[in-house]
């Protein structure tokens, strides 16, 4: 079915890295360009309420919120086409979160792996069987997928562009919508549309220092990530020190046995919007890892150059960023308050 509302968010928890860029914001820009029909509404948010599920310094968070706006726009998102907003500016998100909390099972939340990775426990960990987790884990980190469900359903979103790591949370969102619909709406006229996940064309980007982990803003090792605001010198330096292996050419994609190499190839494919097979062809003449890293660096440096300069320009224009987000907040609030009113009517408030 045709997209009628496209929605996604990203946490303002640091300058965006290549994974956020290829797995999220550049993909959002592509999706927006592919849906020029103005009857399709588009909302992209900075998920600042989600950001506090891990402790944050207030001054730092304030800075990161603006970095997120500048990064979203620098990635090519047209603010005349898309509403760019702050989650915390729309109180209806937390109101709907409460409502949906009554449609989401504790066991379901307990199976989500994202909070486990943030809490630093195994994917098999259970909140209910681990008394230490039980005493240390905050309710916000455990229940934030319910807030995410509210974020998405708030806009009656039909299409949600995200990276692969979000698939479980999108499943939970669909289950929450179905459960709410079953309780409060008629079978013939479901209230919340069941949102479709639009996975980014780029696979998960791994850490440059440990390809078994994803590249993440929260990784304390800053050499593990390429940030979209980085200078060419820094980019060359980071790729130079990226994990590789000692096998000779040819350089063929093999994530199991050559994860470092395969990650570099995933980055090339993502940046150039080509398949892994094409990357293999393009690098067929390369003989050494050094040359290969130089090639990846060249590609990334060239692609990020305009993003970086646009980010710097926007970062210094606080008034412009404020005007964009104020406009986006108004649009988002208009739709959110309408949905919440309908929800309250259905419930009997
Ligand atoms: P982070 O984990 O870096 O804090 P977020 O949780 O804010 O990032 O995720 C924002 C978006 O970026 C999501 O759509 C997510 O799928 C995508 N994303 C995050 N890390 C990566 C990665 N390493 N590779 C691909 N996509 C990613
Ligand atoms: Na994340």
Cis amide prior to 235 (ω within 30 degrees)? no
CA dihedral sign, ordered 339, 149, 47, 162: negative
ipTM score for this prediction: 0.94
The catalytically annotated residue of 156, 203, 214, 293 is: 214
Length of the chain: 349
Question: Has 294 been annotated as catalytic?
Answer: no
41 bridge partner residues: 5
Residue 117 pLDDT: 86
Per DSSP, 207 falls in state P
Residue 1 pLDDT: 57
CA 341 to ligand 2 centroid distance, Å:
31
Question: Has 217 been annotated as catalytic?
Answer: yes
Output the pTM of the full model: 0.94
Print the domain residue range for 94.
5-205+318-347
CA dihedral sign, ordered 225, 228, 232, 233: negative
Backbone phi and psi for residue 46, each to the nearest 5 degrees, phi listed first: -95, 115
Cα–Cα distance, 191 to 333 (Å, whole number): 19
The catalytically annotated residue of 138, 213, 217, 331 is: 217
Cα–Cα distance, 245 to 257 (Å, whole number): 10
Residue 253 pLDDT: 97
Residue 120 pLDDT: 87
| Domain shared by 199 and 235, yes or no | no
Mean pLDDT in order along the chain per 10 residues (349 residues): 88 94 95 95 98 96 96 97 98 98 95 90 90 90 97 98 92 98 94 95 93 90 96 98 93 96 97 96 96 98 97 96 98 98 98
Looking at the structure of the chain, the number of domains it has is 2
214 located within any domain: no
| Domain shared by 190 and 175, yes or no | yes
| Domain shared by 242 and 264, yes or no | yes
Closest CA to 60 of 85, 52, 221: 52
212 located within any domain: no
Question: Has 118 been annotated as catalytic?
Answer: yes
| Domain shared by 125 and 249, yes or no | no
């Amino acid at each position: 079915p045709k997209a009628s509302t496209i929605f996604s968010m990203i946490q303002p928890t640091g300058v965006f890295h290549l994974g956020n860029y290829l797995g999220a914001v550049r993909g959002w820009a592509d999706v927006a360009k592919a849906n020029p029909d103005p009857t399709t509404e588009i909302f992209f948010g900075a998920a600042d309420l989600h950001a506090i599920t891990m402790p944050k310094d207030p001054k730092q968070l304030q800075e990161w919120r603006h970095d997120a706006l500048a990064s979203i726009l620098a990635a090519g998102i047209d603010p005349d086409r898309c509403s760019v907003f702050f989650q915390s500016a729309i109180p209806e998100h937390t109101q709907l979160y409460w409502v949906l909390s009554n449609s989401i099972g504790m066991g379901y939340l307990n199976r989500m792996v994202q909070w486990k990775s943030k809490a630093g426990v195994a994917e098999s960990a259970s909140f209910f069987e681990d008394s230490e987790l039980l005493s240390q884990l905050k309710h916000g980190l455990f229940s934030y997928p319910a807030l995410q469900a509210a974020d998405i359903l708030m806009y009656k979103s039909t299409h949600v562009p995200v990276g692969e790591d979000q698939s479980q949370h999108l499943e939970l969102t669909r289950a929450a919508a179905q459960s709410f619909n079953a309780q409060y709406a008629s079978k013939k006229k479901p209230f919340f549309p069941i949102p479709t996940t639009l996975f980014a064309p780029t696979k998960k980007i791994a850490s440059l220092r440990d390809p078994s982990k994803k590249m993440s803003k929260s990784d304390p090792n800053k050499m593990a990530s390429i940030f979209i605001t980085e200078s060419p010198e820094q980019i060359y330096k980071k790729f130079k020190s990226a994990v590789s292996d000692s096998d000779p050419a040819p350089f063929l994609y093999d994530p199991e046995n050559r994860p470092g190499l395969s990650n570099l190839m995933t980055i090339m494919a993502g940046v150039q919007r080509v398949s892994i097979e094409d990357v293999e062809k393009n690098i067929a003449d390369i003989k050494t890892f050094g040359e290969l890293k130089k090639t990846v660096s060249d590609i990334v440096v060239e692609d990020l150059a305009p993003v970086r300069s646009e980010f710097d320009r926007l970062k210094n224009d606080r008034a412009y960023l404020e005007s964009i987000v104020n406009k986006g907040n108004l649009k988002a609030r208009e739709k959110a308050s309408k949905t919440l009113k309908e929800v309250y009517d259905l419930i009997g408030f």
